[in-house]
Amino acid sequence: MLRAEFEGLSALKEAGVEVPGHVHYGVTEDWSWLLMEFISNVSPDKKKEEEGGRQLALLHRTTSDQFGWETDNYIASLKQSNTLSENWWRFYCDERLLVQLEMTIDKLPLLMRKQLERIILQGVNVFPDEKPALCHGDLWSGNRLYTQEEKAYLIDPAIYFGHREMDLGMTKLFGGFGDDYYRSYEMSYPLEQGWEKRVSITTLYPLLVHVNLFGASYLSLLQEAIQLTEIEVL
């Protein structure tokens, strides 16, 4: 897990995004460790949020010919499958939704399971056709840091080449990102019209992850996302 995080941080840095410096990882006897620069995080303001939006747009400008990643990695403590694909919808269904759904056998009500299976089997791709973008993969507010010097850092990635709306959807899931963040992103890398209507589809994956990690407390949010997604893709 720590090696995958190290590789993810290295990929972010190579894309030109700010990450903590002096990153190293290793194994000492029975311990694995990851060492990096300490960033003193401060509360966001307009300029910091604008810089955060620009940084995410810069990350998404790094593209590939296929969705996925050269190796599997992790989303929190769960394995994240990254088998390469040229089709975003199939990648999202096969490598994200189905993998997580298989873990939820004793956690999901039967109706919700059938709804998700129908979305996967009968759904159609409503995402705009774009080149695979390098995604952070776990972009909630706790994984971005701001400094007094107006710098915006990203940490704890679960990287892969995916649809960039996945990162934007994750920022909307639990909040913490202001309007200045999205305005700055759109000025740097405009989004296709209607992206906010597709947020529910992008959040199915992280919500399934949260159900598998933390249990039934996330079922109501997942149900809401399923119902909105059914309107968009069925």
Reduce the DSSP state of residue 40 to 3 states and report it. coil
Tell me the pLDDT tens digit for each residue of 153-177. 999 999 999 999 999 999 999 999 9
Residue with tokens 């403590």: 77
Q: Alpha carbon 105 to chain centroid distance?
A: 23
Residue 23 has pLDDT above 90, yes or no: no
Q: Is residue 180 flagged as an active site residue? A: no
Q: Are 25 and 32 in contact (CB under 8 A)?
A: yes
Q: What is the pTM of this model?
A: 0.96
Nearest CA to 55 out of 138, 136, 163 is that of 136
Q: Give the chain's mean pLDDT.
A: 96
Element (H, E) at 226: helix 219-233
What is the per-residue pLDDT for 126? 95
Q: What percent of the chain has pLDDT over 90?
A: 96
Q: What percent of the chain has pLDDT over 70?
A: 100
Superfamily of domain 40-233: Aminoglycoside phosphotransferase (APH), C-terminal lobe (3.90.1200.10)
Torsion of CA 228, 67, 4, 212, to 10 degrees: 30
Q: Which of 30, 138, 167, 180 is catalytic?
A: 138
Tell me the pLDDT tens digit for each residue of 39-94. 999 999 999 999 999 999 999 999 999 999 999 999 999 999 999 999 999 999 99
**Number of residues that make up the chain:** 234
Going 126 to 191 to 218 to 179, the CA torsion angle's sign is negative
Residue 105 has pLDDT above 90, yes or no: no
